[in-house]
Every structure is written in structure tokens, then in C-alpha cells.
Amino acid sequence: MTVAVSSRGDAAPPFIHMDIGHDVYAAVTDPNTAFWALVDKTRIHEEIAGGSLLDGYRTKADSFARELHALRFELKPSGVYLNPTERCNLNCTYCYLPGEQRSGGSHMPAEILNASLGKLRDYFRSVMPEGRKPRAIFHGAEPLMNKEAVFSAIDAFSDDFVFGLQTNGTLLDDAAMEFLTSRNVSIGLSLDGPFAGITDATRQTWGGKSVHDKVLAAMEKLKGYGSWSVITTCTTENLPYLTRMVELFHASEVPTCMLNTVRCTLPGARGVKPADGDMSKAFFAAMDRTHELYRETGRKLMVANFANILIGILAPTARRLMCDISPCGGGRAFFALAADGGLYPCSEFIGLPRFNGGNLLAAGGVEAALTSAAFQTVTTRDVDTFSPCGDCAIRHFCGSPCPAEAHEMNGGMEKTGAFCEFYKDQVNYALRLIADGKANDYLWDGWDEETETVFNHALN
């Protein structure tokens, strides 16, 4: 529930009062600057009406507004998702890539991949500070279907990019594992269930074979590696098992996982979309379990998608992932290269030809794509400008992701994403953690080492 509360004076910030479900605290926010405060519920009206909180905030509001504006509108791309093939050996229920591409599509030839990386290197050098490397993530379909080209490119451009690879894990044999880990490539796996019967409900080969055990084997091999993660896509099929998932991940020493809501861009995904309330209930039970496991063992399992929400509240500019912000990072902080050379704001759009911003190797390349109508349709999607987001207290902790599913599922860029209520619940959960002094338990140790505290108000 949100309630607008009037503050003293003509220049009063438009604080919005939120019930976060906490025994002691409610929240107030100025959504224009992503400012928040937790206030004793018995004192909420007097604190908002005037006093040191309001006075302190007024001295910082302009700088917070500038900071948020820079984050939302002034970033240059620093990452690219590379799709080296259209093919995949799996046929997952919710994939955002068209089935005909995944079953019978083409590989990007090695020489084209190398030429593409050369052009991308030159582009990133032109926009990134000297000494910082762009991120290049090989991505699906299944990039290891075109392994020789991918590995050749990683060796050829090892000085120019920090590489990652998101894979279904089924082709990650010992040689591939050795190649990738010896080159410090970040590796992302996907697993949807704590046991085969659940994983198989959404992730199988085209012939209907289970891949669950192969992913478990890959996880076992990656124990001790410093940069790997596992994505669970949350659907109606695995929602009752999310707590079991985090128990499996913790026992397997997975350093970081993501419990991502299914992206509903293509119709197949919508058939396994959970209701927001069901998603919240299962997700927070799993989050609570990660905290219990941390307290029991002293070892954290990071749930990165939630950690990003939490960091977005505590330190808006320190967030790592750029889905939960408006405009989203697609087409401005990162972009995607399809196997046919087409540029898209994000891999999520590769199945939607109208969002093709041109070919990387054509004249204009990245710069032309970034200014194309296809990209700007995405990069100008601004939650401040459409309802109901424009009046929402948490719109800059959420960003109303994702534009692809807003467009395809809900009918336009000026529509909400697929999980509006779940995002509100996540923000409330995060604020309750802050109120209870538990926030750092859900974040990486040292997550704030490169930050400075610019506001700290604690009246006693």
C-alpha cells in the first residue's frame, strides 16, 4: 500500500509513505531520486512534516537526482552478449529464441566472429575509460554448439575483453572446462529443479531426454572455481521447489545463483508463468532459507537478482545488473549480437525482427544501432512517463522490467513488465532486511568497498 503524505513547505519533496509489513517501521520514499527512509510508524507524520530527516534530505536531493539521472541516461555500453550460433541442443519451454532457429539455425563462422570481436573491441575502446575492459558474454542458444569458433575467439581477444559464457552445461566436457577455467572465463549454468523430474519439466533435449545429471556433473567440476553461477528460471513447474534449489546450490558450493522470473516475451513462456503472489511466497521462503544456511555454516549463497535489488536501494549506482532500472540496460549499458550479425538491444529481442538495429559489420556498426529507431524504442522506455509506474513509490528500484515482455505480452513499451507485484514485494522484503540489520547477510562481502556513504541518518 502506498499513501501520499504532505510535507511542510512549498518546496517539500513528494514523500510517499509505504507499509512494508514490518512491526516497527514504515518506509517513505522520494521516488524521483530513489531516496528512502525507514521511519518508526508511530512517528511517521511528525518526521515527514519537518525535522532533521527532511532538512537533511533537502540538502542532498539535487545531488541524488543528478546521480540517478546519470545512471539512467548517461552510461555508455560496457558489455556485449554474443550469440555465436542460432542452434541449441535443448528445447526449453520458455526460451525467448524462436524454435526454428534453435533447431535448424546457423552458426556464426569463426572468421565472422573474429571480425565482429575486432570491430567491437574498437568500439569499446572509443567509449570506455582506458584500462577498463568490456564484458563479452557468449550466450544462447547454446554457444558451445559452435565451440571451436568461441574458443578461438577467446584466445584471440583475451587482452581485449573479460569473457563469460552462459551454457546449458551439457557440452561442458573436461577439455572445455579446462579451457575456460584456465582463461578465467566466467561460467553460467542453468538448472531448474533439485531433481530430474522438475528440471525435465522445462529443460530437455529435442528428443525429450533429461539433462539434469549432466548439469550436476558440471557443477561438481566447478567447485572451487571463483567465477561461476547457476540460473534457475522460476516457473509454475518448479516454484514449490525453490527452497530445495537453494539447499542444493549451497550444498554444491555454488557461489552465486539467480532465481530469475521467467521472461514472458514469447508465448511459450507465458504458459508456465507463476502468479505474482505465488512467486513471492516461494521466492522469499527460498531467501529465508539461504539466510538460515548462512547462519548455520558461515557461507553465503548469493542470490544475485535479489542482491541487485537490495544494492539498488542501498547504493543505486552500485548495482551490477541493469534489468531493474528504467530505461533498462538493453541498448545503452550493453547490447546483443545475433548469430547473423544483427545487433539488438538485448538477447531478449533477438526473436523480434523489428528490434534489429542493423548489422555489426555494416557501415555504422554499433554507433548506428545505438541511434536506430529499433534501439531507441527500448532505450527511451521511461517509467516516469507512463501509468501506473509514474506514480509508483519504488519505480527506480524496479524499472518495470522487461521491455521485451511489456511489449510482447502486455501490448506496448508503456506497459508494465510481467511481475509488477512481485517487484513491490521484493522491495518491501529488502527494506525489512535493512530495518532488521540483516541486509549485509544477503550481499557479497565487501560489496561496498568502492562506495562512499553520502547519507546516513539515524536519530536516537
Partner 1 sequence: MQQAKHKQHPQTATTVPAVPAPVIAVRKSCNPDGIGLSHYVLMDKKAAK
Cα(232)–Cα(255) distance, integer angstroms: 14
Stretch of 3-11, 109-117, 279-287, 312-320 lying at the interface with partner 1 (CB under 8 A): 312-320
Indicate which single residue of 171, 217, 315, 420 sits in contact with partner 1 (rule: CB under 8 A): 315
- Of 89, 101, 166, 356, the one binding partner 1 (CB under 8 A) is 166
**Whose Cβ is closer to partner 1: residue 333's or residue 360's?**
333
Choose, by CB under 8 A, the member of 49, 65, 128, 201 that binds partner 1.
128
d(CA 267, CA 93): 10
Contact status: 43 vs partner 1 (CB under 8 A): yes
Can residue 352 be called a binding residue for partner 1 (CB under 8 A)?
A: no
Distance between CA atoms of residues 95 and 268, nearest Å = 8
Residue 407, all three cell numbers? 511489449
- The count of chain residues that interact with partner 1, using the rule CB under 8 A, is 94
Shortest Cβ 200–partner 1 spacing (Å): 22
Residue with cell 541511434: 371
Q: Which of residues 275-304 bind partner 1 (CB under 8 A)?
A: 304
Per DSSP, the residues of 92-158 read: -TT-SS-HHHHHH--BPPHHHHHHHHHHHHHHHHHHSPTT-PPEEEE-SS-GGGGHHHHHHHHHHTT
* Ordered strands of the 302-303 beta sheet: 302-303, 256-261, 228-234, 186-190, 162-166, 135-138, 79-82, 334-337, 343-344
Q: Binding partner 1 by CB under 8 A: which of 275, 361, 362, 454? A: 454
Sole window of 143-151, 159-167, 367-375, 383-391 interacting with partner 1 (rule: CB under 8 A): 159-167
What is the nearest approach in angstroms of partner 1 to the Cβ of residue 137? Answer: 5
Contact code string over 45-84 relative to partner 1, x by CB under 8 A? --x----xx-xxx-xx---x--x--xx---x-xxx-x---
Q: Cell 522490467 belongs to which residue?
A: 401
The three three-digit cell numbers of residue 65, written as one number: 537526482
Task: Report the residue from 2, 158, 252, 440 that binds partner 1 according to the rule CB under 8 A.
Answer: 440
Question: Which range of residues in 264-272, 345-353, 391-399, 407-415 is near partner 1 by CB under 8 A?
Answer: 345-353
Q: Provide, rounded to whole angstroms, the least separation between the CB of residue 224 and partner 1.
A: 6
For 337, the enclosing helix (H) or strand (E) is strand 334-337
Q: Compare residues 363 and 453 and give the one whose CB is closer to partner 1.
A: 453
Q: Are the beta carbons of 239 and 388 closer than 8 angstroms?
A: no
Which of 236, 214, 266 is closest to 100 using CA atoms? 266
| Cα–Cα distance measured from residue 24 to residue 22, given in angstroms and rounded to the nearest whole number | 6
Residue 42 burial (CB < 10 Å; 0-12/13-18/19+)? exposed
**Burial readout 420-438 (b: 16 or more C-beta within 10 A, e: otherwise):** bebbbbbbbbbbbbbbeee
State in angstroms the smallest separation of the CB of 68 from partner 1.
10
Interaction of residue 456 with partner 1, rule CB under 8 A: yes
- Closer residue to partner 1, CB minimum distance, 196 or 304: 304
369 binds partner 1 (CB under 8 A): no
Residue 319 makes contact with partner 1 by CB under 8 A: yes
418-437: contacts with partner 1 (CB under 8 A): 434-437
C-alpha cell at 115: 571480425
Whichever of 196 and 294 has its CB closer to partner 1, that residue is 294
Residue 254 interacts with partner 1 (CB under 8 A)?
Answer: no
As a whole number of Å, the end-to-end CA separation of the chain is: 27
- Which of 104, 129, 207, 298 binds partner 1 (CB under 8 A)? It is 129
| Residue 320 binds to partner 1 (criterion: CB under 8 A) | yes
Q: Based on CB atoms, which residue is closest to partner 1, 60 or 281?
A: 60
Which residues 179-238 are close enough to bind partner 1 by CB under 8 A?
181, 184-186, 188, 224-227, 229, 231
- What is the distance between the alpha carbons of residues 333 and 341, in angstroms, rounded to a whole number? 19
- Cβ nearer to partner 1, comparing 211 with 328: 328
